[in-house]
Structure 1
């Protein structure tokens, strides 16, 4: 079993660099998947209100013998729940479904700039953190301008921005901004969607050289960038495989080869278009 390293967040808490994503996993299946992930050494679970599986994740947490302080649980506020009072209500509902007394990380799922409510939403996040109900607060799919506005209007920067990030869309400028401002980068869709990257001959050759799979090569690229990554799988063999990325390194030439796969092409939606 691999030992998953932690990354320090700016607020002093630690976040496991590898976690389990639960997007599109039905609630009942999420319980079994998270239970298996815990057995394989995962401690970081990423869910969201819109995934509809917080209750399933919560059942796995309730069933485990692992101490609560050993786990790192993230959920996210959905777009139609933004607003100060709405956020407080939505958070209570998420916590009830998860069965938790405190949350490790809460994220605003999308900025929804046309709604123009993410600043008051962030103010509710700050209140929940001050009350000790959330340890770390962050955002997802936020642009540089959105993050700067949060700091300008509240004085509080997010410790995490969870963004679409994979070799086709390396997000170099946004990652550089994060690094300057002390924001940890989390990668969603880290392997891209549809297996396009997994069939790339250059990655396949690299995988043979390291006795790994193309997916492990891509995940290792994320690790060496310093990103936090949480690939989704419900297959036990794949869950275990995804943890076996800490016993090898990519050299500079290999990192540069993967960098050259960049196309600047999103597989998800543009943040300004989600409202």
Structure 2
């Protein structure tokens, strides 16, 4: 019984995380699902994966209603809680990487909870309409209508147009420039219309609006480097299926950047500084 659940745990976490945009809440949902699985009458469970997907999805729908109210009063830009890519399962295709990116998860906030459920089940997990209808207790026709509306709200999907190795080299150059205070190199790596979103959640200092344009972004990033550089550092990581940087001061992680690269230039940086969203990351050299 436990083994069956453990085989599906990471998949259920991935579903809950995409639904909620919060790793902490996703873990709570998976634990709640386990408790229900533990007490369920196994004679009524034909397919464990389908049964758990239904439980997890409905637990998430209950949480999303409250989450929307909370995010409306959030201080500054809201960004999803970043997660190391390895925790999200195989991401061997561009489509799978895109479906867990910070940009994708932020766009999901445009959707109503039912639209979000249908969209995630269909686009990220390739569920058929019949399966989705069974999970949500809706008709297949209604599910199709929800998906059509969700796709319109989401807009055209973003696709990685730069090979992974090239993206890594660009981010490593960006990292070296930030460490060394090389503003000229930072400028060369940034697109003219680059945008930075920073999520401090009112807990720490962060820009309350997006920082737009190469010149403003360079000054913003230089400020972060100057603030956290002494006694800390920067390291390359992979976050949410894309290149990223973890920033620490002393033995505490203070920021995680998800970096979007398009046509050989950095076009967007999503910087999570809210300490409530950084507990899954550990400063290099401080791992237990």
Q: What TM-score results when the alignment is normalised by the length of structure 2?
A: 0.25
Q: What TM-score results when the alignment is normalised by the length of structure 1?
A: 0.26
Instruction: Decide which structure has the larger Cα Rg and report it.
Output: 2
